[in-house]
Structure 1
């Protein structure tokens, strides 16, 4: 009886394998991320893809992966159009083409993964589910690490809240990618008469929610912070005629802050510090006086034309000199990939080829240790995991400063906030964010947003944050061996399937 029911379900779901529906499933996948945080949509969309590609040839499965990726990444990264067209001054059609080409390139990871799953197909539904999930994980890891990595809205991020979030301190965001891939493949296998994989995943989800230990860090005291949101429009940020008035507003806002640490957004002073001292000495003097009362982390540029300008946070008013420079640079915006200088220069992006910061030290302030990250860096927990180990030098608080005015207020701010929520979950550290136009917010060590300023509003967020120390299981194994355990977890079933295929 059950096989007959499953055959009817399969026949009824055949339409899900049509290519337009697969692309729409990719769009549905995007809808599961911030701002909606509708994580069930993510599971549904991925299950639709697993079902659609299950019995396909490698070529057709590759097309399914490509179309799903285009729907997902095209709709999830559309805001890049704003930076390319509105600020890079590319014609509309060229800007659209550039976004689609990026989505197409990133979709190739998923096309290759699904083609491999089809080529290694096993007649046993449970084994095929494991192969499919392993291929999905390989695609996510490859996108995160190859060519400097671009893991924006990786599938695990949809679960920064919800029942799967309890696994984040144990397996991190890419472990969650594996888990949701296994769920999707389990649904496809269940429709074909084998519910064992799906039952296993459901047990892991429920068991994680009910039985996993979740407390790995302890409180270290509180810190009062003032987080600035200046709301300077991007088309005014580098305008020489408006530079002085914008700087005057910034200094006035800093002078009104009352925290034990005042934080400004990324590049809030869009000039190298030496130039600022030379051109606006009065404002610099006021900044120093304000910092003598309330220590300040100022977003600026350090370095010079010879060694490269470094996107930095400079501490003023602290007991010890301190500056932090961005280390993981954004391709096309802060570092120029080989062969693309003509394209980047045509966009007219200021500071388009920057130097890199050199250290990961935390700033010690009022008994807490604050680990800065600048914009894009908080997507790469593996880069700064050494900062969140146990010990006296461990960071007790994570900080991100950003300027997302390049991309408008819709979607991108909430997506970036979601990434910070995942880092807070993985490392059980509170996470504070100071941004130019949003999302300026405070996240507790459970990944929940406890305070946030409205987007595109000039304001100051005054809040008290409780620092944490200690290391999660994920932080410990990630610091010891990196992401290799997940690579091995993904590749082992594929090697076994390949050997079985050769033996046929």
Structure 2
């Protein structure tokens, strides 16, 4: 009989699996911060993560790998899944490149797809390695898949400046919150990958003729041998223990936070200017609005402090580039004197009862380089600066000296992890940035570890834009417990990406950092999400997005170290690399041993 019908079935199922992988990748993206009500599914909430659907969508990919007939087909399916996942996750980049950058719509779409396609190669490599090295035991397959998938996540988050935005572990922010201060977002993603593979193994023997005749590919290795049965049972027991343990998430979190303690309350005002991105750097519109609205909020804070109001802030935070011009570009009399006077003119009181301001602004000069920075200004340093301005009426004080502004003693934080194409231009890509009408440039980097700002009995550590995406870099400030920050502050401007999923995704990222490090995270943004997150990752206060206003809240600083802060602060991500590399090495040795034994068998006939 001719095998032509079977070939048609196989070809048809291959195309169907490709579509399934693309759809599953889109669900993986949605699971990070579920879209609005139009996408309402069971076990979802708009803007919130869905750990269930993250595991289910990844399990669909595993099914596709189990039924792959060739190594290349497995790699292709892994790439399709990751391409769809990352393209949907980064879809908001279209807004920054097309709406605000002036890039042609087709070029902006192509750029997003190309970025996602390049990063998807990490996951294609993981799927390829899985197809080649899959051990005979199901338990071994579970461990190897989790290790390879996590290595792909680590590589995406670390290599070529790193962009771990949308890592699968963020979808587990609620489901595995108790494990975050122990293993971090990559550990959560690895555990989710184990659950996904186990789920796929449980269902892949079901007859699905429209997706391919009988299970083949990796599935043919899924029957456990007697020699490996112990590993299968051990992995199964571990997964059952994980599922049961997730029912007591709060107890895991309590145990991780046992060595931390309160450092007292901090009253804060977080400002959200809601200045349109296409006007933000325009002198007659956005700049004028910023230079009027933010000082007015500080004046209101000063008034609250003077009358000792219950809501009087100890810290006022204005977002990234809230002051959208260099200090030396602003008039000392028209702007700096009244701005600083609002901070300096406070009633005599204990330092803990006075108001301080943390404000984002660019600093530097052409000769010394520019930085995306934040100034921390107290009543004392504001008064000192006013005196220096009086001594230099020509404005010379406002000129940077040696890359800093001498004399007044403002606290300064400068962004370390710069955004590719936004704050530095990678080699050979100048042609691309020249196509966009965005104020791009090569900024100077701040130090990886910068001292926190001592304020009101707290140690306040700012981070700017997507720096809170890199938990291992924030953890580097926790190497010495007595010097570790007690409060984290993120200053952002997500207006570049419109009112899209980036806002919700970034909120989940900040929640994970709060959980991992056991610290509150304050978020002051231009358009949202301006929020207060406590040390358990719970959003306690949230300002409506795309509105102008201030968030008045109280948070509680924390001291002490979580397990994640201890190991990530000391070793970075190397322990995760080592564990995954160890599993990969064992799989390689097992594959080599099988090959050697097979070659040593005498041939019959």
Q: Same fold (TM over 0.5)?
A: yes
- 1:252 matched to which residue of 2? 296
- 1:237 matched to which residue of 2? 280
Deviations 1:262-285 (A, max 9, x none): 11000111111221246xx32222
Of residues 567, 571, 575 in structure 2, which corresponds to 1:485? 575
Q: Does 1:102 align with 2:154?
A: no
For 2:432 and 2:299, locate their aligned partners in 1 and report how far apart those are by CA, in whole Å.
Answer: 41
Of residues 301, 318, 339 in structure 1, which corresponds to 2:362? 301
Q: Which runs of structure 2 are paired with 1:1-16 in the superposition (5 Å)?
A: none
Q: TM-score, normalised by structure 2?
A: 0.78
For 2:546 and 2:246, locate their aligned partners in 1 and report how far apart those are by CA, in whole Å.
Answer: 38
Deviations 1:22-75 (A, max 9, x none): 110011111111213222100100111112112422211111111101211111
Of residues 514, 523, 528 in structure 2, which corresponds to 1:433? 523
- 1:8 matched to which residue of 2? none
- 1:347 matched to which residue of 2? 436
- 1:113 matched to which residue of 2? 126
For 2:477 and 2:25, locate their aligned partners in 1 and report how far apart those are by CA, in whole Å.
Answer: 36
Asked if the contact 1:59/1:115 (under 8 Å) is kept, the reply is yes
For 1:145 and 1:398, locate their aligned partners in 2 and report how far apart those are by CA, in whole Å.
Answer: 22
- 2:22 matched to which residue of 1? 23
- 1:152 matched to which residue of 2? 165
For 2:573 and 2:162, locate their aligned partners in 1 and report how far apart those are by CA, in whole Å.
Answer: 13
Aligned CA distance change for structure 1 residues 469 and 495 (closer, same or farther; 3 Å): same
Q: Which runs of structure 2 are paired with 1:369-384 in the superposition (5 Å)?
A: 369-384=459-474
Q: Does 1:269 align with 2:323?
A: yes
Deviations 1:125-174 (A, max 9, x none): 22122221111011001001000100001000111112x11111110011
Q: Which runs of structure 2 are paired with 1:167-206 in the superposition (5 Å)?
A: 167-191=179-203, 196=233, 197-206=235-244
C-alpha displacement of 1:389 = 4.7
Corresponding residue SS for 1:371: strand
Q: Does 1:38 align with 2:99?
A: no
Aligned CA distance change for structure 1 residues 489 and 412 (closer, same or farther; 3 Å): same
* Structure having the higher Rg: 2
Of residues 261, 265, 274 in structure 2, which corresponds to 1:222? 265
- 2:598 matched to which residue of 1? none
C-alpha displacement of 1:99 = 0.6
- 2:10 matched to which residue of 1? none
Corresponding residue SS for 1:237: coil
Aligned CA distance change for structure 1 residues 55 and 126 (closer, same or farther; 3 Å): farther
Q: TM-score, normalised by structure 1?
A: 0.93
C-alpha displacement of 1:443 = 0.4
Corresponding residue SS for 1:227: strand
Deviations 1:320-344 (A, max 9, x none): 5311000000111111111111211
C-alpha displacement of 1:189 = 3.0
Corresponding residue SS for 1:236: coil
Corresponding residue SS for 2:483: coil
Q: Does 1:51 align with 2:63?
A: yes
How many residues end up aligned between the 2 structures?
489
Q: Does 1:470 align with 2:560?
A: yes
Aligned CA distance change for structure 1 residues 318 and 469 (closer, same or farther; 3 Å): farther
For 1:238 and 1:491, locate their aligned partners in 2 and report how far apart those are by CA, in whole Å.
Answer: 47
C-alpha displacement of 1:202 = 3.0
C-alpha displacement of 1:351 = 4.2
Aligned CA distance change for structure 1 residues 322 and 492 (closer, same or farther; 3 Å): same
For 1:491 and 1:244, locate their aligned partners in 2 and report how far apart those are by CA, in whole Å.
Answer: 54
Deviations 1:70-99 (A, max 9, x none): 211111110100000011101111111011
Asked if the contact 1:229/1:460 (under 8 Å) is kept, the reply is yes
For 2:261 and 2:61, locate their aligned partners in 1 and report how far apart those are by CA, in whole Å.
Answer: 41
For 1:481 and 1:16, locate their aligned partners in 2 and report how far apart those are by CA, in whole Å.
Answer: 44
For 1:220 and 1:389, locate their aligned partners in 2 and report how far apart those are by CA, in whole Å.
Answer: 18
For 2:79 and 2:29, locate their aligned partners in 1 and report how far apart those are by CA, in whole Å.
Answer: 15
Q: Does 1:404 align with 2:502?
A: no
Corresponding residue SS for 1:126: helix
Asked if the contact 2:21/2:77 (under 8 Å) is kept, the reply is yes
Asked if the contact 2:488/2:519 (under 8 Å) is kept, the reply is yes
Asked if the contact 2:479/2:570 (under 8 Å) is kept, the reply is no
Q: Does 1:337 align with 2:426?
A: yes
Asked if the contact 1:428/1:446 (under 8 Å) is kept, the reply is yes
Of residues 474, 482, 504 in structure 2, which corresponds to 1:392? 482
For 2:100 and 2:462, locate their aligned partners in 1 and report how far apart those are by CA, in whole Å.
Answer: 27
Deviations 1:171-193 (A, max 9, x none): 00111111111111222333456
Aligned CA distance change for structure 1 residues 318 and 478 (closer, same or farther; 3 Å): farther
For 1:144 and 1:128, locate their aligned partners in 2 and report how far apart those are by CA, in whole Å.
Answer: 24
C-alpha displacement of 1:241 = 1.8
Gaps of 5+ in 1: 1-13
Asked if the contact 1:62/1:115 (under 8 Å) is kept, the reply is yes
For 2:481 and 2:146, locate their aligned partners in 1 and report how far apart those are by CA, in whole Å.
Answer: 37
Of residues 376, 381, 387 in structure 2, which corresponds to 1:315? 376
Aligned CA distance change for structure 1 residues 229 and 61 (closer, same or farther; 3 Å): same
